Amino acid sequence: MPRILRISTGSPAPFSAAHPRSQMSNLQKLIVNARAGLALHEKISDDDWQAIARQCGAAEVEEIEQRIVSLRAELETVEDWDGDTLDEIHVAIYRFTQLLRLAKARSPSGF
């Protein structure tokens, strides 16, 4: 049975009573706000990723780094036949790596 993987790089995240919007991290809120008004097939624009990066502080940089580590670990659990999931994870790693680079570039200390 194929696995369903939700990666918050561009897809709207579902909200439930267990995870109300108020408990989202600042990074999650920035990504959700960038997705606002986009159709499911539309991606967050490069300009919007740059805008997210400008709003990232040390906590967001740390979260991005943690997400990259988690995504790389997730890659190890995906079956080779599940190319779609592997592709989604690689795209998420790429996007978060780019976001990390942008966020660190805007900080004099590099976080």
**Whether the Cβ atoms of residue 31 and residue 51 lie closer than 8 Å to each other:** no
Over 70: is that where the pLDDT of 87 sits?
yes
Rounded to whole angstroms, how far apart are CA atoms 97 and 69?
10
Q: Which two tokens stand for residue 2?
A: 């194929």
7-24 tens-digit pLDDT: 444 444 443 344 455 689
Kindly tell me the sign of the dihedral angle through the C-alpha atoms of 69, 25, 12, 3. positive
What are the extents of the domains in the chain?
21-105
pLDDT, tens digit, for every residue of 9-67? 444 444 334 445 568 999 999 999 999 999 999 999 999 999 999 999 999 999 999 99
* 48: helix, strand or coil: helix
Helix (H, G, I), strand (E, B) or coil at 19: strand
